[in-house]
C-alpha cells in the first residue's frame, strides 16, 4: 500500500507566519521526492508562497489553500469553491472585533478568501510578539471560543474553527479541511494517508480533516504536532527515505 503525506503549513511546517527553516526545507525536499506530498492550509496561495520556498511548492503533488476550498496541481487549479458571505455575518464580525476588550489593533482584521472568511481581533498585520501576546491572552480568556459559539447560534449554516495563533476561519457548513480527505481518497483509492497538523484540538481547523482521515481507514495516521520541529522529528524517525538525507534534530 502506498502512502500519501498531508501537511498543514502554519505551525506545522513553519513557525506562525514565518518562513520555512532553511535546514528543514532541505530535509523536506527529500521527503517530497520520495512520497506524494499534499499541503492543506487555511491561508491563500499568496501567504503560502511567502512562507514556503518555491522549490518546495513545485515538488509537492498538490496544494489545498483556503481550508481546502481550492485545489492546485502543477500550478493549475483543479477546483475553486467560491462563496459570497452575507452582509449580516460580515457586520457581526466587524462588531465583534470592535467590541473586544483586547486593546491592540494591528490592522487587517477581516479577510475574505476562497470559500472562507478569516477574522482576527488583533489583526493579521500583527508582528510575532503581538501574535504571541494575543495567543496567550486568548488561551486564558477564550475569546475565539466565544466567537465560535456566538456564530453557531446566530448563523447555523456556517461553521467556525480556530486557525493559527490569532484568528478564526469561517466557512459554509461542511466547507472545512475535511473535504481534502474525500478528494484524496477518490483520486488515490487504497492508499493510506498520514496527516500532520498543529490545530488538532476540538475547535481547531485541522481537527475536521484529522477526524475524517482517522475514521477513513485503520491504515491512516494522524499526528497532532506541537510545531515544525515536532513534524521534523516524526518525519525523520518514521518516513525518512534514506538516513543520509536526514539531519539530526535536537
Alpha carbon of 90 to those of 1, 117, 199, 233: distances in Å?
Answer: 46, 9, 24, 41
Residue 250 lies in a domain: no
Same domain, 62 and 46: yes
Tell me the helices (H) and strands (E) count for the chain, helix number first. 9, 11
Same domain, 69 and 185: yes
Backbone φ/ψ region at 67: left (φ over 0), alpha (ψ -120 to 50), beta = left
pLDDT at 246 over 80: no
Same domain, 69 and 104: no
Confidence of residue 244 (pLDDT cuts 50, 70, 90): very low
pTM listed for this prediction? 0.88
pLDDT at 239 (0 to 100): 83
Neighbouring-strand partners of residue 200: none
Q: Which domain holds residue 180?
A: 3-81+175-245
Residue 180 lies in a domain: yes
Q: Total structural domains in the chain? A: 2
Confidence of residue 241 (pLDDT cuts 50, 70, 90): low
Same domain, 156 and 96: yes
* Residue 121 φ then ψ, to 5°: -65, -45
- Rounded Cα distance, 215 and 3, in Å: 16
Residue 64 lies in a domain: yes
Same domain, 139 and 162: yes
- Rounded Cα distance, 223 and 157, in Å: 30
Q: What is the pLDDT of residues 85-94, one digit of tens each?
A: 999 999 999 9
Q: What is the CATH number of the domain that holds 181?
A: 3.40.50.1000
Same domain, 111 and 74: no
Residue 66 lies in a domain: yes
Q: What is the pLDDT of residues 176-198, one digit of tens each?
A: 999 999 999 999 999 999 999 99
pLDDT at 203 over 90: no
For 60, residues 6+ apart whose C-beta sits below 8 A from its C-beta are 32, 37, 38, 39
Same domain, 117 and 74: no
Amino acid at each position: 500500500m502506498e502512502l500519501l503525506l498531508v501537511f498543514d503549513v502554519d505551525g506545522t511546517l513553519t513557525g506562525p507566519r514565518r518562513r520555512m527553516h532553511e535546514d528543514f526545507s532541505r530535509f523536506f525536499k527529500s521527503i517530497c521526492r520520495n512520497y506524494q506530498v499534499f499541503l492543506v492550509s487555511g491561508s491563500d496561495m499568496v501567504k503560502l508562497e511567502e512562507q514556503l520556498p518555491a522549490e518546495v511548492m513545485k515538488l509537492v503533488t498538490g496544494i489545498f489553500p483556503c481550508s481546502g476550498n481550492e485545489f492546485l496541481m502543477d500550478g493549475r487549479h483543479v477546483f475553486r469553491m467560491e462563496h459570497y458571505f452575507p452582509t449580516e455575518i460580515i457586520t457581526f464580525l466587524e462588531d465583534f472585533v470592535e467590541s473586544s476588550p483586547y486593546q491592540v489593533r494591528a490592522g487587517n482584521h477581516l479577510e475574505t478568501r476562497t470559500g472562507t472568511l478569516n477574522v482576527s481581533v488583533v489583526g493579521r498585520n500583527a508582528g510575532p510578539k503581538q501574535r504571541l501576546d494575543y495567543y496567550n491572552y486568548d488561551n486564558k480568556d477564550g475569546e475565539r471560543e466565544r466567537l465560535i459559539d456566538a456564530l453557531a447560534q446566530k448563523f447555523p449554516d456556517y461553521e467556525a474553527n480556530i486557525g493559527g495563533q490569532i484568528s478564526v476561519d469561517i466557512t459554509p457548513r461542511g466547507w472545512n479541511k475535511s473535504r481534502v480527505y474525500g478528494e484524496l481518497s477518490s483520486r488515490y483509492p487504497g492508499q493510506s494517508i498520514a496527516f500532520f497538523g498543529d490545530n488538532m484540538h476540538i475547535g481547531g481547523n485541522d481537527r475536521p480533516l484529522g477526524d475524517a482521515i482517522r475514521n477513513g481507514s485503520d491504515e491512516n495516521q494522524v499526528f497532532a504536532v506541537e510545531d515544525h520541529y515536532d513534524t521534523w522529528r516524526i518525519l525523520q524517525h518514521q518516513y525518512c527515505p534514506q538516513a543520509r538525507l536526514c539531519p539530526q534534530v535536537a
